[in-house]
Structure 1
Amino acid sequence: MQTEKWQPSASIDVLKQRALVLQKIRAFFALRDVLEVDTPALSHATVTDEHLHSFSTQFIHPFAPKAATLYLQTSPEFAMKRLLSAGSGAIYQICKSFRNEETGRFHNPEFTMLEWYRPGFNHLQLMSEIDELIQTVLGCETAERVTYQDSFKQHLNCDPLTATLTEIKTLANQYGYGELAANESNKDTLLMLLFSQHVEPQIGRDRPCFVMDFPASQAALAKISPTNPLVAERFELYFRGVELANGFHELTDGAEQRRRFEGDNTKRQNNGQDIMPIDENFIAAINAGLPNCAGVALGIDRLLMLALDCSRIEQVIAFENSRA
């Protein structure tokens, strides 16, 4: 009933436990001398990734000739990397992020993100620190590590790094995605579909699992491996059917980053999507000297679902979207 929507979707007891977990996370970083920062939720530019969808709004300045379009951040990554280039050292942030996508068991358009960056770390070292945090919060076993290639081979009997688009389409058809695959020209779109539906549910069941060495074509903001050009120094963390985190050994080449953003926009244009403005402040920060570092974005609400044994995201947030 509408009259009941004033009430929170999470119980007060759960919200108290949520506050304790956040205190534990902050204490974790305080012990390691990682600085907590706060960056804007609104930006003049946004992500170009064709699989991410930003909210936008209009800023009407009384002395401006026309309204300016601003975007709600999908993560604080670009602003935090600008701080790194300015000499901040190791930093973390717990903040609201926004994605104009689905709502459901693991999704809410407004959610809480934990993001942190470690200058001098590579992705393997950062994975070890994430493992320590997860054990601190969840009291679980240490995480295992598998490659994207091996997990795909094990569960789908296919090598995702060398398979052709035609071979991936055939595989998708075998799993009932023939209609979708027929007109798909992007191999990665099908790989992501197959991975999410038929690999993710099989990993990290009993203990957390890092999947590492994603295809180079899915590098996003990660470095390409110096030993294998087919893979990126990127990882994701899964536990009990939940995707918890996505991390990179961060790309520090501004020209390459621009090429990737422009490539994203080309894909967007080909798909009939809006072209997104490239964040020139972010590119300038990389060119000014983004230090060698590793970073990760971790979903706090999903982590809390595991910590508090909740089955749906609305059980751990004060007011989910329909009640907001």
Structure 2
Amino acid sequence: MSEELSQVLRVRREKLAALEERGIAPFAYGYDRSHRSDRALALFQEEETAGTLDEKGEGSRVRVAGRVLSWRGHGKSAFAHMEDGGGRLQLYFRKDALGEGSFSDLDLLDLGDWIGVEGVLFRTRTGEVTVKVGEWTLLAKSLRPLPLGKEEVDPETGERVVHSGFQDQQSRYRQRYADLAVNPEVRELFRARTRIITELRRFLDERDFLEVETPVLQPLYGGAAARPFTTHHNALDTRLYLRIADELYLKRLVVGGFERVYEIGKDFRNEGIDRSHNPEFTMLEFYQAFADYEDMMELVEALLRRVVTSVTGETRIVYQGQELEFGTPFRRLPFVPALNDKLGADVATLDDAELRRRAEALGEEGLKGAGRGRLLDKLFGALVEPELEQPTFVVDYPVELSPLAKHKRGEAGLTERFELYVAGRELANAFSELNDPLDQRRRFELQTQLRESGDDETHPVDEDYLRAMEYGMPPTGGVGIGVDRLVMVLTDAPSIRDVILFPTLRPGEGTSA
């Protein structure tokens, strides 16, 4: 801690003690607020338009509450700005209105304190709607200064520019509470995230999908190629896993007779951290009986078009300088021909050793024990994915990459699977779900062989899931959509950490502020 910060903290503690000596409670139990700031502003404007202000130009009396973000003292008066969930509102304090004692108590306030005020609304000579404070109440004393920085507003564009303040990105991730407090645009991003998730739900609810909850702690993980987090249940003396996907439990529900189900929830994968990966992330998965991957492509396209237009107001958006169009039919690109084109060879003629050599030449990592499926995935990720800027369905994946998908009708070695790519990243993954329990067992057993060869991102044999399939699973289409990545695209966020309130950080990251 710097000497300057230590001094500031000491002064604030001294003010806390002074408040208590004057009998002012520094941490209130509640406050009876009559209006949020935006509604108070709207109320005054309505009264002004209706001509119902009094002869002094004053409107209704309001009780508002928020955090003090600016302060300008002028001897026997002072102006301040407070901020609440509705925005900012100016406050005007006068000694003759408050009285000697209450006005002098204002000296013990600091930026960041929470206060409640009561007074009438009026418009200043500069045109700003303001509360003329008749009384004020301290709601919470701030003992640590917020990194507010210096703020300026461009007189022509109205754009808010903050100089210095909370600029270290890692500190902002670690201290998200402070980041939210001083950056309204960050709060707006997370409001947009909520609107996106609400629209996803609304779209599926309108189509008779049932929202369900499946276990996060599971006796066996599955549904994706990933390493799990493990834990131990003391009472049962057994190992449990944090789920890596919702898939196998949702398909059990289809077996049970729920024809359309979905879940929005947290998944966990014990993998690296980068701009598009966080170990804890949010997934939407939905399954529809009597549908195949063609049906699910149509549904995903309609879903994304709906969400994009609902949140942004149009089908065309800009992500990191790239214009993306969601209003036209999404391109369809077969996996194998696309990879063949980039390799300059037919992957069917290349053995695993040659695939590995080519992946290593591209600088790919994590190849230890990798089977053919993972090698193909690595090559596709390096050579093809970065060029998939516009919404693109990559279709018909090799069977080695898709142990839970049905074989493609009429084409040996391929499966009815698609992944949706936008801005060079995977947003969705979907199958015509494999519903043959005998074929599923064979594929699980092949995954076991790969694991024994050193590939630790394979599916274990899930006997309970196989038993469920043996009761009979109807033809089913299933989709998984990465909610965090979708939010990234729709809010123009460069990193997944920007759209997760409290992302996973490496030890020591962002601890300096």
How much does 1:317 deviate?
Answer: 1.0
How much does 1:174 deviate?
Answer: 5.2
Q: Secondary structure at the match of 1:289?
A: coil
Q: Secondary structure at the match of 2:266?
A: strand
* Structure 1 residues 214 and 161: CA distance shift in structure 2, 3 A: farther
**Counterpart Cα distance in 2 of 1:98 and 1:169:** 28
Higher relative CO (Cα under 8 Å, sequence separation at least 6) belongs to: 1
Check conservation: 1:48, 1:277, Cα contact below 8 A: no
Q: 1:21 aligns with which of 196, 216, 220?
A: 196
Q: Secondary structure at the match of 1:136?
A: helix
Aligned to 1:156: 343
Check conservation: 1:161, 1:230, Cα contact below 8 A: no
How much does 1:188 deviate?
Answer: 2.6
Aligned to 1:265: 448
**Counterpart Cα distance in 2 of 1:244 and 1:263:** 27
**Counterpart Cα distance in 1 of 2:460 and 2:291:** 30
Q: Secondary structure at the match of 1:228?
A: coil
* Structure 1 residues 297 and 274: CA distance shift in structure 2, 3 A: closer
Q: 2:430 aligns with which of 212, 231, 247?
A: 247
Write the deviation string for residues 26-67 of structure 1: whole angstroms up to 9, x where unpaired. 111122111111111111111286x41011111111xx5xx1
* Structure 1 residues 263 and 313: CA distance shift in structure 2, 3 A: same
Counterparts of 1:115-126 in structure 2, within 5 Å, are 115-126=285-296
**Counterpart Cα distance in 2 of 1:257 and 1:160:** 25
Aligned to 2:92: none
Aligned to 1:233: 416
1:143 equivalent to 2:330? Answer: yes
* Structure 1 residues 226 and 316: CA distance shift in structure 2, 3 A: same
The more displaced of 168-177 and 247-256 is 168-177
* Structure 1 residues 250 and 277: CA distance shift in structure 2, 3 A: closer
* Structure 1 residues 86 and 15: CA distance shift in structure 2, 3 A: same
Check conservation: 1:6, 1:323, Cα contact below 8 A: no
Write the deviation string for residues 158-185 of structure 1: whole angstroms up to 9, x where unpaired. 32244333543454465456x988x877
Q: Secondary structure at the match of 1:322?
A: coil
* Structure 1 residues 18 and 230: CA distance shift in structure 2, 3 A: same
**Counterpart Cα distance in 2 of 1:113 and 1:48:** 12
Q: Secondary structure at the match of 2:451?
A: helix
Aligned to 1:83: 253
Check conservation: 1:115, 1:295, Cα contact below 8 A: yes
How much does 1:93 deviate?
Answer: 0.9
**Counterpart Cα distance in 1 of 2:373 and 2:458:** 19
**Counterpart Cα distance in 1 of 2:440 and 2:288:** 19
* Structure 1 residues 193 and 7: CA distance shift in structure 2, 3 A: same
TM-score (norm 2): 0.57
1:36 equivalent to 2:211? Answer: yes
**Counterpart Cα distance in 1 of 2:214 and 2:431:** 20
Check conservation: 1:48, 1:261, Cα contact below 8 A: no
Tell me which structure has the larger Cα radius of gyration: 2
Check conservation: 1:137, 1:307, Cα contact below 8 A: no
**Counterpart Cα distance in 1 of 2:429 and 2:457:** 25
**What's the % identity of the aligned pairs?**
34
Aligned to 1:57: 231
* Structure 1 residues 170 and 275: CA distance shift in structure 2, 3 A: closer
The structure where strand makes up a greater share of residues is 2
* Structure 1 residues 268 and 157: CA distance shift in structure 2, 3 A: same
How much does 1:226 deviate?
Answer: 2.5
Q: 2:387 aligns with which of 202, 213, 225?
A: 202
Q: Which amino acid aligns with 1:52?
A: A
**Counterpart Cα distance in 1 of 2:373 and 2:259:** 34
How much does 1:91 deviate?
Answer: 0.9
* Structure 1 residues 289 and 13: CA distance shift in structure 2, 3 A: same
Check conservation: 1:48, 1:264, Cα contact below 8 A: no
**Counterpart Cα distance in 2 of 1:216 and 1:16:** 40
The more displaced of 161-170 and 17-26 is 161-170
Q: Secondary structure at the match of 1:58?
A: strand
Aligned residues, how many?
315
The more displaced of 257-266 and 183-192 is 183-192
Q: 1:215 aligns with which of 398, 406, 417?
A: 398
Q: Which amino acid aligns with 1:200?
A: E
* Structure 1 residues 258 and 209: CA distance shift in structure 2, 3 A: same
The more displaced of 232-241 and 271-280 is 271-280
Aligned to 1:291: 474
**Counterpart Cα distance in 2 of 1:87 and 1:260:** 25
How much does 1:129 deviate?
Answer: 0.5
Aligned to 1:189: 374
Aligned to 2:38: none
Q: Which amino acid aligns with 1:83?
A: L
5+ residue gaps, structure 1, are: none
* Structure 1 residues 173 and 301: CA distance shift in structure 2, 3 A: closer
* Structure 1 residues 191 and 300: CA distance shift in structure 2, 3 A: same
* Structure 1 residues 30 and 323: CA distance shift in structure 2, 3 A: farther
**Counterpart Cα distance in 2 of 1:48 and 1:130:** 19
* Structure 1 residues 262 and 48: CA distance shift in structure 2, 3 A: farther
Q: Which amino acid aligns with 1:22?
A: I
Write the deviation string for residues 288-317 of structure 1: whole angstroms up to 9, x where unpaired. 111101101110000000011101001111
Write the deviation string for residues 81-136 of structure 1: whole angstroms up to 9, x where unpaired. 11100001111110100100011100111100000011111101101110111112
Q: Which amino acid aligns with 1:301?
A: D
TM-score (norm 1): 0.89
